[in-house]
Chains A and B, each alone.
Chain A
Amino acid sequence: MKRFTIYLFSLALVIGLSGCQDFLDTPPENALLWEEAMRTPEDAQRLLSSNYDVLRAGNFYGGNVWMLSDLMADNMDGRTLSGDFLAYHTHNTGIFISASRDLWFQGYLVIYRANVLLERIDEVQGLSDSERTRMIAEAKFLRAMGHFEEIRFFAQPYGSSADNNHTGIPLRVAANTDRIPRATVGEVYTQIIADLQDAIAGLPTENNGYVTSWGAKAYLARVYFQMNQFQNAFDLATDVINNGGFSLNPDVMARFSANANAENIFALISTGNLDNSGGGIAGHYRSTNLTGAEPTGKISQAFHAIAVADTADLRRQWYISQDTLQASERIYLTRFNADFFNVPIVHLAEVMLIRAECAVELGDLTTAESDLNAIRTRAGLDPVNPGQGANALRTFIQAERRLELVGEGNRLHDLKRQAVNGNPSLTINGAPWDCAGMVVQLPDEEAAGNPEIVLNPEGNCN
């Protein structure tokens, strides 16, 4: 027995595994551990840059944010759609739409990462005050942008209830995994405005291709405009137009190019095929190889007829048609026919159109007319006849807006905004603007994580 014990002991020695806590403690190699991930200014910048990589994803701002909202509006041809795209087009989104899962998640991923940066920026060593201010401001811009893009899809528009007490989306201002309910639309917009105002205050006017204070001002102008708060939108737009140093591109094709251009106020950057923000958009619309897979994004004949009605309009080259004027006609956009291009999130043409419409509402018809004419002239059209009344001018501006921003994801939100602003009987593709299906249903992934979450009503748009 004694010998046995000796053998056993020597065995343990041979293997020599005692006290091997280290053997079990194997932190991952070439990954960043949580506590070590926010030490240097470079760490913080990488986290911030990662947010733009989320924005540019094909299932978010690099593609679907525009595509899905346009499919829900009245510019598109839905005849050959199927799957998720058809569900958006017919206003029948359910909880299992994978495009909705991504649309929802990517926006909140931007919000989450912005919150992580805001909560952990104090850990960063060696960060100058100006850089710290810039990063906080940039994170708040991104958080606001995430909330704004989500709420436009997943809730009835601002102004559709008296106090904006109607159901909005979860408001996430902390980086955690808590179960929270949906805030009201009013609460969410209040946070968006506060974040954007902080962003404007803290952002520089130049930022190496990232968002600047001009970008934040232009974006806040869009937010106010969406809220029909015309004076606020007008003031910000005026600031951008007068002081931002941006100018309209002479060429109507230049907006979607790989190079920085004078018109873009804030754009997602593309430097090559592997650093590409426009891949998703090009994937939906690109019409250079029509013998291969057919593009998903096709323009309806009805809208195409409007768009090409004026033969002087240089923007006619944005369209290409097959089987022209036959029942089987298919119309594609050519604006996105490039290997890679920058994706403008806000550009001067939109800001001018915002200001023009705000000016009409505020009674400043001179400014409205001049902004409108700037856009028209660039497109090769004659200025409108002077002395138009407010209503006529508004109609001109809204029509111009529809033409100028085609494919850029504005149309659905424009129509809803117009409906809220005194057009309660407005319809979109024949359906009431506020029917249940006009709001995208929350994805199952959100609902499954919180049994108490309120889902949107569905359908009723037929």
Chain B
Amino acid sequence: MRMFTPIRFLMLCACLLIGFGGLYAQNGTVSGTVLDENGDGLSGANVLVGETGKGALSGLDGSFQIKGVPAGDHVVTVSYLGYNKFNQTVTVGTNGNATVRAALQLEDQELDDVLIVGYGTQRKRENTGSIAKISSRELTEIPGSSIEAGLQGKAAGVQVITGSGIAGSGAVVRVRGINSISAGGDPLYVVDGIPITQSNFLNNDRGGQNNNPLSSINPGDIESIEVLKDAAAAAIYGSRGANGVVLITTKRGKSGKPQFNLTTRVGISQPTILQDLVNTDEWVQLYLEAWENDGNTGVPDLLPGGITVDQALANGTTDWQDLSTGTGFKQEYQLSMRQGTEKLKTYTAISYLDNESYLLGNSYRRYTGRFNADWSILRNLTLKASTSLAWGRNNKIDQAWSGGLGSAQSNALPYFTQDQTAGFSNPIVFREHRDWRTIETRSINTATLEYKPIEDLTININGSYDFMDLGDHFLEDSVITNTFSIAKNTATQVNNWNVNGYAQYNFSFLPEDHKLSLMVGQEAQKFTTRGSYTEVSDVNQHLYLDWEGTENSDTTERDELTQITTFLSTFGRANYSFRGKYLLQASLRVDGSSRFGRNNRYGWFPAVGAGWIISDESFWKDNISAISFFKLKSSFGITGNAEIQNYLHYGRFNGPNLNGIVYNNDSIAYPENLENPDLQWETAATFDVGFEMGFLQDRFTIDFGFYNRESRNVLLEATVQSSTGWKKQWTNIGQVRNRGVELSVKSRNLVGGYNALKWTTTLNVAHNRNTVIDVGLTPPDALQGSGDTRVIEGHPIGVNYLVRFSRVDAQTGLPVFLDADGNETFEWSENNRVIVGNVQPWAQGGIRNEFTWKNWDLNVLFNFSLGGKIYIDHAKRQLGVVKDWNMDRDIINRWTGPGDTDAKYPRLTLDPTTYGGMGSEWFYNTTQWLHDASFGRLKTVTFGYNFRFNPEKKNVIKGLRLYFNGTNLLTITNVPGIDPEVVRDHNGPQGRNISPNVTYLTPPQERIYSVGVNVDF
């Protein structure tokens, strides 16, 4: 279809004037209505009358009228983004009229989808990059979750490990494997054009939980998410694109009468699994057995915690897990309105969410509001504004062993009673006497001025502001502190400004076969992070509330380092196609950042992509009709990763106003960072090749890709001899390769009308192989993760580096290990650690089946992760030396006496040195706790019923949907005793990269049952 262009217009006018001047007066009118898929008027649709150059936009009610149309036959074309183009031939008589009723159909063809690509949009058909799109419906499937969790299992090569059962916790997202070691490995999140504040470590890992910066974004407000995976797509984000880019687009207004939508959902939450721990009788029996094994006689005077055996047995069993968990109640409500006139379209929404987890005392509550408006100031000037405000409160409890479920599974021994506060082991005491909440206020705002001075030129100017105020409020009373109550307030504020402008020009004057467009732009972004810490003793209330107490000598108040991060970028992209089937794309971004050293301040990030739509070739069309679409595509480009802390390249001291520390009442200052003027971003060179195919008019589509990504200058926080007075130093020496394949298949197995069963299957699967090529001259222990994971050359990031457990000696009951050479030994030595596996899966993906029959629909998503290892770090204490932890009931498989040949665990002991001279029960890291991490999981099942309303009748309610959803209903795995899908807390990005699959008393996932009602009116 030819486009309306000024040049064409002029030529046409000239022709008309010269050739058909005599007929000029004999004009008619074309009028009609444009309707959307519901039969409602659609305003703003572009209506063109054939070659006349005449056209109009449809009005508020969808009607249009085009006068002065020459008599004769014309093709009327109606187009609107997101809908299939509508064509109809009309005959206009002299001074006559013709009417058109254009009922537009939603674009249903996958390959003709419109993609948001960063600084613009593109048709999927014309794209040469690798982009996965996730719709709003898929994002809101799981109740109470934040947006990134909704990506799980839905896009090939996008690995999402859902956050554990803690309310408000976040997921770990890795696009095409792990590229980074010490620098952040998360993709860049861009909301309506602004790269948002996304650090997981603003609250460190206080309480065993990282802050989730995405939790305050309401998934219900999101129209779509695009994940840019390859360099051709992500290089437009330059130094921040190496780990992929997640583009989040919020809902906008639509022309027409106000449409209201109310969604409500309530649900309950339970843990997917709890540990099987022993009771008091069993525990005491185990302890006594260990006591006797160690050569003692009689009974010990005291058990751990300082009570006698008789007292313990008299106390009975307290089931701490039971006392720490319950049924969480979840509820969420959202009311939204979309409306629009030709001039002004708006989307308004408010929502409320109250998400209790199954952990007693743990919940996340959020209020959000959003207002998006598109204002057509002039015919060629539009202002698009988006504003959102969210307030979220996370009621926290300590995770791991310092309270909460972790304590219940470890040092809260079953013979303690609920009111025994001895030690730091009673989770009930912590829950009741510590009030801990994180409160976040967040506002993300964007204003865009879109100006089309001429038909082919679009200029966009954007200003965005992302504000985050994070308060971590902590109050514990004298029961815990032993002295007086203490209130702590850690306040963090991030102001994030972004200004960008870009212009897009279509070279429409080129000969017909050629299509060329060019985009150039500039962007500046500035993050300012301020923080402070206050601690006051002897108060009765949180410090952010109206507290009573006195500031005394125990009041601490200090500011944190104010941190400023800036990016300054220039970028451009050219798209060229020849006859619509040979596609070329090139982009370049130049990024400067305050994070990089003086000597390496700017980086260049180019990318090229090419595609060939073979199915448009005549030889194909004529011969292979079954394959309706076939595109080959390939790309190469360089992206970067700048996700390191600020100011690493500045040598600096920590001054008195920051540390607030005094010695002998004198303030102090000390070196905090060594200068590193050469520090720079990581670069990733990515090569992609793949194809997209559609069979039988796209009833069956395949998207397949292979990629090879070489990351160089990988940022390493490498260990230096700690006798230097430093522990780590940042360097750019690493090299990592990710190589893999991705496959997405969509099959409309059954299609048909209302009465027929419709069935669609989508499958995505990705295999990635990760190899560390170079980490410099560093021994294994120089790059550590949690749970004895390491980074070692020639192996994937995050290898498990452990002593191999061989067997239990039948005669002595002692553990037999393997030394580094594989020979059996009784001796425990850390020198015997070898590489025994890695934490990265071999393949992962998801299968979705959707069924529709009449008013019913059923939607089933199954996720899987194959290969890789999971290390259960706490098992060494629950199945090892008997000390002050509760034990796993699997300990019944221990050695029981000489000749016990099939014992799984060695003889019980109270003394770690029994096991080969091990110094501490904490060292017992062996392959016994390492398991195949493969799992398959029935992630969500949604079963719904849609009431139909006759659109002709004036019902108040236009649509009504009831549904039931179940999440994490079934898990198939060989991992014993715990949930195989784990996101534990980390104190920095390195742990998050190296140890994603290490668990340490991490709360299991939630199983959720919910019901919902959606009403349109």
Contact = CB atoms under 8 A, between A and B. Distances in A.
Given A24-B601, A28-B647, A32-B652, A97 B919 contact: yes
A462 B647 CA distance: 50
B958 to A, nearest CB: 43
Interface string A398-427: 000000000000000000000000000000
Interface string A19-58: 0100111111111111101000001011101101100100
B612 to A, nearest CB: 29
A8 B503 contact: yes
A101 interface: yes
A118 B45 CA distance: 77
B381 interface: no
Contacts of B830: 94-96
B486 to A, nearest CB: 11
A269 B664 contact: yes
Contact of B920 (A97, A176, A445, A451): A97
Interface in A1-21: 3-4, 7-8, 11-12, 14-15, 17, 20
Given A30-B657, A271-B664, A50 B553 contact: no
A393 B566 CA distance: 73
A444 interface: yes
A108 interface: yes
Contacts of A34: 650-653, 671, 674-675
Contact of B666 (A49, A111, A451): A49
Contacts of B563: 28-29
Interface in B551-566: 553-554, 556, 559, 561-566
B912 interface: yes
B549 to A, nearest CB: 15
B620 interface: no
A306 interface: no
A83 B921 contact: yes
B664 to A, nearest CB: 4
Interface in B621-668: 646-647, 650-658, 661-668
Interface string A191-234: 00000000000000000111000000000000000000000000
B378 interface: no
- Kindly name the residue among A28, A33, A328, A447 whose own CB sees the greatest number of chain B CB atoms within 10 A: A28
B553 A274 contact: yes
Interface in B446-499: 453-454, 457, 459, 461, 482, 499
A176 B724 CA distance: 7
B651 A33 contact: yes
B520 interface: yes
Contact of A108 (B565, B566, B722, B917): B722
Interface in B889-915: 911-913
Given A15-B500, A33-B650, A37-B652, A46 B662 contact: no
Centre residue among B564, B670, B883 by max chain A CB count within 10 A: B670
Interface residues of B, number: 97
Nearest to A87: B919
A82 B724 contact: no
B561 A31 contact: yes
A334 B918 CA distance: 33
B359 to A, nearest CB: 25
Contact of A449 (B562, B658, B721): B721
A175 B920 CA distance: 35
B626 to A, nearest CB: 44
Contacts of B662: 271, 274-275
B914 to A, nearest CB: 11
Of B520, B655, B666, B911, chain A has the most CB atoms within 10 Å of the CB of: B666
A104 interface: yes
A23 B651 contact: no
Given A7-B453, A11-B459, A208 B670 contact: no
A458 B829 contact: yes
A87 to B, nearest CB: 3
A95 B459 CA distance: 61
B306 interface: yes
B949 interface: no
A5 B68 CA distance: 35
A271 B917 CA distance: 44
B720 A177 contact: yes
B164 to A, nearest CB: 25
B27 interface: no
Contact of B301 (A3, A15, A176, A327): A327
Interface residues of A, number: 96
B594 interface: yes
A101 B524 contact: no
Contacts of A80: 302, 304
Contacts of A156: none
A384 B855 CA distance: 103
A227 to B, nearest CB: 22
Instruction: Give the most central of B424, B658, B917: most A CB within 10 Å.
Output: B917
B7 to A, nearest CB: 12
Interface stretch (A241-249, A289-297, A312-320, A351-359): A289-297
B119 to A, nearest CB: 13
A274 B308 CA distance: 39
Interface string A94-133: 1111000100110011011101100000000000000000
Interface string B497-514: 001111101000000000
A26 B564 contact: yes
B545 interface: no
B592 interface: yes
B779 interface: yes
A20 B524 contact: yes
B452 to A, nearest CB: 11
Find the residue from B520, B553, B661, B724 having the highest chain A CB count within 10 A. B724
B919 A94 contact: yes
Contact of B562 (A28, A84, A109, A175): A28
A26 B561 CA distance: 13
A450 interface: yes
Contacts of A291: 422
Nearest to A272: B553
Contact of A101 (B500, B505, B722, B922): B722
Nearest to B298: A327
B753 interface: no
A46 B656 contact: yes
A432 interface: no
B306 A294 contact: yes
A384 B320 CA distance: 59
A145 to B, nearest CB: 15
A31 B654 contact: yes
A449 B719 contact: yes
B670 A26 contact: no
28 contacts: A3-B457, A11-B522, A15-B461, A15-B522, A23-B568, A28-B563, A29-B562, A29-B564, A31-B647, A31-B652, A31-B658, A33-B650, A33-B653, A34-B652, A46-B656, A49-B664, A53-B663, A93-B919, A94-B920, A96-B922, A113-B670, A172-B724, A176-B724, A177-B729, A272-B554, A328-B302, A449-B719, A450-B721
Interface of B: 301-302, 304, 306, 308, 421-424, 453-454, 457, 459, 461, 482, 499-503, 505, 520-522, 524, 526, 553-554, 556, 559, 561-566, 568, 592-594, 601, 646-647, 650-658, 661-672, 674-675, 719-727, 729, 777-782, 784, 829-830, 883-884, 911-913, 917-923
The 9 A-B pairs with the shortest beta carbon distances in the complex, nearest first, are A112-B725, A34-B651, A328-B301, A92-B919, A87-B919, A449-B721, A50-B668, A32-B653, A46-B669
Interface of A: 3-4, 7-8, 11-12, 14-15, 17, 20, 23-35, 37, 43, 45-47, 49-50, 52-53, 56, 80, 82-84, 86-87, 90, 92-97, 101, 104-105, 108-109, 111-113, 115-116, 169-170, 172, 175-180, 208-210, 269, 271-275, 289, 291-294, 323, 326-328, 443-451, 453, 458-459, 462
Given A17-B524, A90-B911, A275-B664, 5 more contacts: A11-B501, A35-B651, A275-B663, A326-B301, A445-B727
